[in-house]
Chains A and B, each alone.
Chain A
Amino acid sequence: MPVLWVSALLVLGVGLAWGLVLSPPDWQQGETVRIMYVHVPMAWLAMGAYTGLAVLSVMSLIWRHPLADLAARELSPVGAAATALCLATGSIWGKPMWGTWWVWDARLTSVLVLFFLWLGHAALVRAFDDAERGARAGAILALVGFVNVPIVKFSVDWWNTLHQPASVMRLDAPGMHVTILYPLLTCALGFSLLFAAVVLARTRAAVMERRVRALQFARARREEGAPA
C-alpha cells in the first residue's frame, strides 16, 4: 500500500508539473489546453472504473464473492467523484473555448447519465438493511448501466457533437503532438494509481470494519450469555 501511494504521488507530481509548466501552450487553445491534463484522465477513469464495477458485479452475481460486493460498494463514490470532476473540468474548459459552460450534446449528456449511474449505485447498495440484497440490486443496476459506457465512448462518432472526436484512443496514431501527449499519459497514469490507492484503502478499511462488527457482536453475545 505505501508503495502504491508513493508511486501515485510521484508520477502525479511529475505529470502535473510537466503539464502545468514544461509543456507548451496549444496553438489554438492557448494555455487552456492544460485543463486537458486533468479532464481527460478523469474521463478515462470514469469509464474505466465503471467497466471495473461491471466486472465486480458479474463476480458478485455469479460467484457471490463477498469481496466483490465490498469493493463495488467502495468503488462507486470514488467513481462518482471522478465523473463529477470530468464534467466540472470539461465545463471550465468549455466556457473559454466554446463560449458556454454546457451543451446538451451526446457526449456531455451520456457522461451526465454515467454520473447518475454512479450515484444511483452508491445510493442503492446503501439503501437496504440487508447488505447482501443491496449488493445484488447494485450489481444489476451496474450491469444494466454498462450499456452507457460504449455510448459515451462512441457518442462523438455516432452523433454530430460539439465535443471533439477521440484524439488519443483511436485506430490510427494519436492526433496530438508528443509535447502534449506524454504529459497527458503521465497524468493519466498518476491519477489512475491514486484512484487505485484510494479504492484499495477504502476496501481494506471496509473489510476491517466488517471484522470489527463481527467481533463486537460476538463479544455482546458472550456478555449477554454470561452469568450475572
Chain B
Amino acid sequence: MSLHWWHVAASYAVTLATFGALAIGAALRHRAAKRLLATLDPRGERP
C-alpha cells in the first residue's frame, strides 16, 4: 500500500469513526430517553 493510500485510509477511518460514534451515541441517547419517558409518563400509569 502506497503512502497516498495510507493517507486516504486515515481520512476515511477518522471520518467514519467520528460519524459512527456520533450516530451510535445519538441513537442510544434517543432510545434511553424514550424508555425513561415511557416509564414516567403519567398517561402510562392509567389503567
Query: For the complex, what is the distance from the CA of A38 to the CA of B8, rounded to whole Å?
Result: 10
Given contacts A85-B18, A208-B37, contact A215 B11 (CB under 8 A): no
Q: Which of A121-129, A142-150, A193-201 contacts B (4 or more CB under 8 A)?
A: A193-201
Instruction: Decide: B23 and A198 in contact? CB cutoff 8 A.
Output: yes
Given contacts A38-B15, A212-B36, contact A201 B7 (CB under 8 A): no
Instruction: Decide: B23 and A197 in contact? CB cutoff 8 A.
Output: yes
Q: Which of A27-35, A59-67, A156-164 contacts B (4 or more CB under 8 A)?
A: A27-35
Q: Which residues of A contact B5 (CB under 8 A)?
A: 31
Q: How far is the CB of A155 from chain B (nearest CB, A)?
A: 22
Within 8 A of A (CB), among B1-47: 2-5, 7-8, 10-12, 14-15, 18-19, 22-23, 26-27, 29-30, 32-34, 36-37, 40-42
Given contacts A35-B11, A85-B15, A216-B40, contact A202 B26 (CB under 8 A): yes
Instruction: Decide: A38 and B22 in contact? CB cutoff 8 A.
Output: no
A181 at the interface (CB under 8 A from B): no
A103 at the interface (CB under 8 A from B): no
Query: For the complex, what is the distance from the CA of A32 to the CA of B41, rounded to whole Å?
Result: 53
Sort chain A's interface into a size bin.
35 or more
A16 at the interface (CB under 8 A from B): yes
Instruction: Decide: B33 and A209 in contact? CB cutoff 8 A.
Output: yes
Query: For the complex, what is the distance from the CA of A185 to the CA of B36, rounded to whole Å?
Result: 39
Query: Which B residues contact A (CB, under 8 angstroms)?
Result: 2-5, 7-8, 10-12, 14-15, 18-19, 22-23, 26-27, 29-30, 32-34, 36-37, 40-42
